[in-house]
């Protein structure tokens, strides 16, 4: 296939994406940041928003950027660092980010951003494999109270909504959360597999993940964290079984700090229009998300009470565990010892062999030095001057390091490659690359 043809295909697809755009979108481009890897709940929320906003024509184009890591706190830190005052960017956030802020002692918190609205909520379910001896929540909690550590709780990452609920339940039945044998898995798939395979005693997860399994009879739902029974889901609530906990894994939307009041009102109006649109209703139904739209002051107050609740329960998890935690794990020190020993051996071998290498075979230094300079310049310029300039310079200097005879040809190639890759990735595929000083023209 020729390059021209594949470019044509990309263009054709790009046109397809924009097909249903309404005549006059309210906002031309709105970036949505998902502070998680593709596939998770925040990513799903961001991509669902992308689809609804574009389909309803509220926004012409809404690229999703993934900034994964540390329960969203890495995305939060970057959002606060890079986007101050920007009016066309929002970030998905929620309960799990509160947990991440506490667990990872994040220096920035949700107080540092502009809250827009709470969007959705998802109930949590406690379930056991179909073959489990535990028929009811009472069976399970009796065994748990008798010997807490013998019951292993499988769920999502440490500090996340699943662990928070586990801690709340333990606390409510009078067992210290620090005695919960919580097995953290990364991602819904991994923990679901462990529960289905009876590798752990019970699982805690969102209703959407468990519902198909409960429906199929592969899992038995023992309790749901809603205040009242959910229609169509045959699982009793925690409340009707004597545990007074209402709990939801809520997700919300925030804007950068330092936003002008006018810009904030504009984004709030956009969110209000989005949640009222029929495509958003369909999305909620499809993902079994609850409509928990709560804008403005109400959301801010809600976030503060939730933060206190999360801090409280996560602190209890570590009470009495300090002694266990500060005990050194053997594995890291074994690895470091291995690295030091093999490193010493290596250095000795190299020292021996290089003493016999004749001086004459020393290579000329110029090319590698030029390449090092090119790399350093690239790193300096990437975010300051933008991708195109930094990449073209890197290309040109690297090419000169290998063959200095064609400066003009190399310059042309450097420009062509960096401009075309920028246009393809940043403009057609909407990956985030630093636009820099040339951004306006490309």
Give the footprint of another protein on residues 237-276 (CB under 8 A): none
Contacts of 40 (CB under 8 A, 6+ apart): 34, 187, 188
By CB under 8 A, is residue 421 in contact with another protein? yes
Residue 237 near residue 213 (C-beta atoms within 8 A): no
Picking from 18, 92, 24, 17, the residue whose alpha carbon sits closest to that of residue 58 is 24
By CB under 8 A, is residue 220 in contact with another protein? no
Q: Which of residues 183-212 bind another protein (CB under 8 A)?
A: 183-184, 186-190, 192-194, 196-197, 199-200, 212
Which residue's structure tokens are 């019970």? Answer: 202
β-pair type (31-34, 64-66): parallel
Q: Which of 27, 74, 172, 290 binds another protein (CB under 8 A)?
A: 74
Contacts of 45 (CB under 8 A, 6+ apart): 34, 92, 119, 120, 251
Provide, rounded to whole angstroms, the least separation between the CB of residue 372 and another protein: 8
Q: Which of 143, 382, 435, 438 binds another protein (CB under 8 A)?
A: 382
By CB under 8 A, is residue 360 in contact with another protein? no
Provide, rounded to whole angstroms, the least separation between the CB of residue 92 and another protein: 14
50 exposure class (CB count in 10 Å sphere: 0-12, 13-18, 19+)? buried
By CB under 8 A, is residue 232 in contact with another protein? no
Provide, rounded to whole angstroms, the least separation between the CB of residue 76 and another protein: 9
Contacts of 390 (CB under 8 A, 6+ apart): 377, 378, 381, 382, 434, 436
Number of chain residues interacting with another protein (CB under 8 A): 119
Q: Which of residues 29-48 bind another protein (CB under 8 A)?
A: 37-40, 43-44, 47
Q: Which of residues 98-127 bind another protein (CB under 8 A)?
A: 103-104, 106-107
CA atoms within 13 A on the CB side of 221: 28
Q: Which of 29, 215, 228, 246 binds another protein (CB under 8 A)?
A: 215
Identify which of residues 297 and 329 has a Cβ nearer to another protein in the complex: 329
CA 403 from centroid of its chain's CA atoms:
43
Residue 294 near residue 302 (C-beta atoms within 8 A): yes
Provide, rounded to whole angstroms, the least separation between the CB of residue 298 and another protein: 29
In the DSSP assignment, the letter for residue 108 is: S
By CB under 8 A, which span of 169-177, 230-238, 269-277, 365-373 interacts with another protein? 365-373
Q: Which of 94, 121, 155, 159 binds another protein (CB under 8 A)?
A: 159
CA 324 – CA 321 distance, rounded (Å): 5
**Across 150-255, where does the E strand assignment appear?**
152-155, 181-184, 202-206, 219-224, 248-255
Residue burial 236-263, b: 16+ Cβ < 10 Å; e: rest = ebbbeeebebebbbbbbbbbbbebeeeb
Provide, rounded to whole angstroms, the least separation between the CB of residue 367 and another protein: 4
Contacts of 157 (CB under 8 A, 6+ apart): 71, 163, 184, 185, 186
By CB under 8 A, is residue 383 in contact with another protein? yes
By CB under 8 A, is residue 277 in contact with another protein? no
Q: Which of 112, 316, 432, 442 binds another protein (CB under 8 A)?
A: 432
Which residue's structure tokens are 């389909």? Answer: 55
Identify which of residues 180 and 224 has a Cβ nearer to another protein in the complex: 180
Provide, rounded to whole angstroms, the least separation between the CB of residue 419 and another protein: 11
Provide, rounded to whole angstroms, the least separation between the CB of residue 431 and another protein: 4
Provide, rounded to whole angstroms, the least separation between the CB of residue 169 and another protein: 19
By CB under 8 A, is residue 406 in contact with another protein? yes
Provide, rounded to whole angstroms, the least separation between the CB of residue 247 and another protein: 19
By CB under 8 A, is residue 83 in contact with another protein? no
Q: Which of 157, 225, 226, 237 binds another protein (CB under 8 A)?
A: 157
Q: What does the angle CA 199 – CA 205 – CA 211 come to, to the nearest 5 degrees? A: 100
By CB under 8 A, which span of 1-9, 167-175, 250-258, 289-297 interacts with another protein? 1-9
Picking from 358, 340, 233, the residue whose alpha carbon sits closest to that of residue 288 is 233
H/E stretch holding 114 reads: strand 114-129
By CB under 8 A, which span of 172-180, 264-272, 301-309, 343-351 interacts with another protein? 343-351
Provide, rounded to whole angstroms, the least separation between the CB of residue 218 and another protein: 5
By CB under 8 A, is residue 278 in contact with another protein? no
Provide, rounded to whole angstroms, the least separation between the CB of residue 299 and another protein: 26
Provide, rounded to whole angstroms, the least separation between the CB of residue 402 and another protein: 4
Binding track over 304-333 against another protein, x by CB under 8 A:
---------------------x-----xx-
In the DSSP assignment, the letter for residue 36 is: S
């Amino acid at each position: 296939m020729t390059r021209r043809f594949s470019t044509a295909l990309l263009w054709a697809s790009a046109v397809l994406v924009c097909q249903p755009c309404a005549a006059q979108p309210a906002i031309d481009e709105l970036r949505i940041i998902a502070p998680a890897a593709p596939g998770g709940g925040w990513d799903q929320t961001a991509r669902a928003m992308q689809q609804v906003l574009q389909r309803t024509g509220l926004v012409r184009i809404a690229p999703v950027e993934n900034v994964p890591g540390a329960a969203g706190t890495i995305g939060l830190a970057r959002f606060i660092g890079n986007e101050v005052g920007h009016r066309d960017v929002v970030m998905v956030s929620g309960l799990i980010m509160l947990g991440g802020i506490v667990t990872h002692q994040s220096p920035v918190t949700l107080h540092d951003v502009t809250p827009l609205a709470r969007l959705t909520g998802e109930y949590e379910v406690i379930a056991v494999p179909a073959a489990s001896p535990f028929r009811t929540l009472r069976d399970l909690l009796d065994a748990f109270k008798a010997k807490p550590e013998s019951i292993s709780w499988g769920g999502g990452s440490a500090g996340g909504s699943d662990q928070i609920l586990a801690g709340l339940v333990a606390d409510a039945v009078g067992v210290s959360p620090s005695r919960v044998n919580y097995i953290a898995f990364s991602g819904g798939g991994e923990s679901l597999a462990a529960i289905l395979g009876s590798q752990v005693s019970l699982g805690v997860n969102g209703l959407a993940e468990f519902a198909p399994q409960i429906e199929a009879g592969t899992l038995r739902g023992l309790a749901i964290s809603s205040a009242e029974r959910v229609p169509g889901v045959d699982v009793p609530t925690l409340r009707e079984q004597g545990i007074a906990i209402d709990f939801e894994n809520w997700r919300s939307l925030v804007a950068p700090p330092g936003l002008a009041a006018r810009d904030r009102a504009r984004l709030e109006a956009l969110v209000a229009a989005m949640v009222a649109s029929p495509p958003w209703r369909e999305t909620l139904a499809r993902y079994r998300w609850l409509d928990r739209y709560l804008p403005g002051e109400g959301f801010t107050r809600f976030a503060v009470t939730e933060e206190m609740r999360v801090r409280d329960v996560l602190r209890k998890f570590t009470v009495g565990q300090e002694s266990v935690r500060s005990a050194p794990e053997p594995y890291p020190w074994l690895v470091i010892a291995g690295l030091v020993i093999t490193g010493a051996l290596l250095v000795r071998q190299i020292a021996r062999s290089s003493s016999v290498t004749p001086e004459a075979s020393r290579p000329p230094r110029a090319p590698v030095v030029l390449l090092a300079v090119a790399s350093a310049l690239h790193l300096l310029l990437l975010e300051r001057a933008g991708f195109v300039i930094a990449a073209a310079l890197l290309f040109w200097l690297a090419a000169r390091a290998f063959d200095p005879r064609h400066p003009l040809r190399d310059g042309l190639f450097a420009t062509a490659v960096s401009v075309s890759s920028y246009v393809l990735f940043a403009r057609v595929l909407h990956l985030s690359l630093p636009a820099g000083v040339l951004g306006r023209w490309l």
